[in-house]
Structure 1
Amino acid sequence: MEPSVSEGGASARHPQGDASRPGRNGRKAPPEFVALRSVDPTILQEMRYFTPHNFVGERIDGYRQPVCLLTRPAARALHAAQRKLLRQGYSLKVYDCYRPQRAVDHFVRWAKDLDDERMKREFYPRVDKSRLFEDGYIAEKSGHSRGSTVDLTLVRLPAKPTRPYVPGEPLTPCYAPRGERFPDNSVDMGTGYDCFDTLSHTDDPRVQGKQRAHRQLLKETLAQAGLVNLPEEWWHYTYKPEPFPDTYFDFPVSYRSLSSPR
């Protein structure tokens, strides 16, 4: 499926936009980009690619601060969804937002290094690393780089504290029962975030009960705000219509990248 455009947390299943158009390499974001916190400070943030707790096992290139940057329409859509969820005792929590091209390049380099499987047991235990491109989990372009795609989940309020991942600690498969997976203060969605497995498909029939209800609550609430789910990843949503449907940006994830930093 390579080269193609990734619409997932790291997936390439649904090409969209013009992958031939190069990203903008400037250090500054266009004025249409904002920090999510400036639009809605109540939305929780756990920026996974700023930390080593991800499928690569280290901080990803381009993530200079643990901040969610998005186009203004996407941020406003999340704010609208958050207002509805707060009334029901939930909050959104974002894992990833705008993702620079250099971060995607980091994923590609990692995927080609078949000897580095330090995070396999948690994030892709049932997938041979040599198939990550072929199976559509990694691609050379990501919809996140266009600025209107976000990876997120639900947290029941009041939010419980979480502990940081310690590099080298024992790992548990991302599809294991909630009590066995790495502790996360989100509701049980059936898998952890960035789980390279078919159980991550939003409507997988094996996911039932509260897990399915949580996925549907997230999907229905975000759909009402104009955010469209990627069927293969319960956590992945894109605001439509995108302000930059054909452009893949490469400015760093940092307040300094914004025209109005705060």
Structure 2
Amino acid sequence: MTATESFSLEVRSQSVGVATGGVVPNVSSAADAPVVMLIHGAGMNRTVWQLQTRWLAHHGFTPLAIDLPGHGLSDGEPLDSVADMALWLGEAITAVSERLDSEQVRLVGHSMGSLICTEAAAADHDRIARLVLLGTAAAMPVHPALLGAARRNELLAPELMTAWSHGNRAHVATNPTPGLWMLGGGLALLERADDGVIHADLSACATYEAGDAASRVKCPVTVIVGSEDKMTPPRAAVPLIADFDNIDVVHLAGAGHMMMNEDPAAVRTALAAALA
């Protein structure tokens, strides 16, 4: 595979959107750089990890930020439950393992993606070596106004999600990447979702019941929480954290739910430690 080629992936005979941080992996490169699969949250896609994937790709890892079905560049319809998404992720792990000849992967999940990764890790003790959860919680109830707006495919849904997903600094135009508007970028990303996608995802979050999933996870776990997270407040993660056997918690002061964009340097530092 040459540097001009892209990394393609299929699951259930459907194309999956994948971002690799600008470095196209192959069997040889993945043998020396652990495979890290990054899973986005509700209504989003692989691009939420763009400030992490390139760094990971040049610091000893093989990052694969993937689009869930019906999101970004992935074919198919959005799946209607976290359980179904976790089953799909298991098949994606199989496809990646076969493609890169990797026996284990590391999973990183944000928000809804954290629920998916937890369920996948609870069901697969052999192939998942590390689990990193950002903006997570034991349950993810959804405000009725947000769910209703998403059901009607109203712009209000992306607007509410964008406002609630960012901490105070983001609301006064602060951005660690000069020249970019954080809230505007977040809104534009959610507006790109096809009709029905945000509602399907939020409904999956609202009906999710964790049960004993966390207690069944055997690999080391790192939970990264933002002090200004309004979507999944730090207190909402406490019951989940208590159920993990091997757990490390990283607190990011001043960061909201979209901590990957709000404080990318701190997130990269936490990922480097957690994924090693």
Superposition TM-score, scaled by structure 2 size: 0.30
Which structure ranks higher in relative contact order (CA pairs < 8 Å, sequence separation ≥ 6)?
Answer: 1
More helix by share: 2
